[in-house]
Amino acid sequence: MTEMIYVASTWVLPVLLAITLHEAAHGFAAACLGDDTAKRMGRVSINPLRHVDILGTVVLPLALLLFRAPFLFGWAKPVPVNFAALNHPKRDMVLVAAAGPMANFAMALSAAILIHLALYISGATGIWLLENLRNAMVINLVLAVFNLIPLPPLDGGRIAVGLLPRPLALRFARLEKWGLFIIVGMLFILPLIGAQLGAKINVFAWLVGVPVTFLYDLLLHVAGVV
């Protein structure tokens, strides 16, 4: 139990900050580009309570912690955006969608830079701070890369809709109602089917794990930590 509490203490703040600032960045970008829906609803805020989703912010991270997953993952309530109210709806959709992952990349880089500070703090406090910062890098990179998968309703899907020619964009946007089912199928059902057939199919590792590992090492080099 003591070990679990310690592990939780190194993940809670990184996860809350990652998902909160991701959603707040969407709302801030939308407000700057003409849609004040999120601002009027109080969602352009760094207060985690305004963004809490019971399943994604509480239940899933706790379940992952109890099952000793290698890292915690979660999400917040999506920030409401009225794309029609944006100054240039098709172009600005791309900018609003990209704002969340870009905020995560910025936080991951900031955490990498702050590792320099943790290395100068000795004892248990320094180790605890170092683990928080490394976990912050991981969760922010996972959120950024996962959300950039080009499939609606993920941010990458909205970016694709904004960049594609209108006829293709309209067809691609229709995938949104099936997007969640496709994601669940790829990440959870395919691996189960593969396991039954004796094949190791880990779509999450291929789509997210590989780029996250590369970016994690890259940011440490950019920050001068290694």
Catalytic residues: 23
CB atoms within 10 A of CB 87: 10
State the number of CA atoms in the 13 A half-sphere of 169 facing the CB: 15
Per-residue DSSP letter, 28: H
Exposed/middle/buried for residue 155 (C-beta within 10 Å: 0-12, 13-18, 19+): buried
Cα–Cα distance, 154 to 89 (Å, whole number): 17
Between CA 209 and CA 3, with CA 9 as vertex, the angle to 5 degrees is 90
48, 111, 129 from 13: Cα distances, Å: 10, 12, 11
Cα–Cα distance, 143 to 156 (Å, whole number): 12
Let me know how long the chain is: 226
Maximum Cα–Cα distance across the chain: 60
Q: How many Å is the Cα radius of gyration of the chain?
A: 19
Q: What DSSP element (H or E) covers 74?
A: none
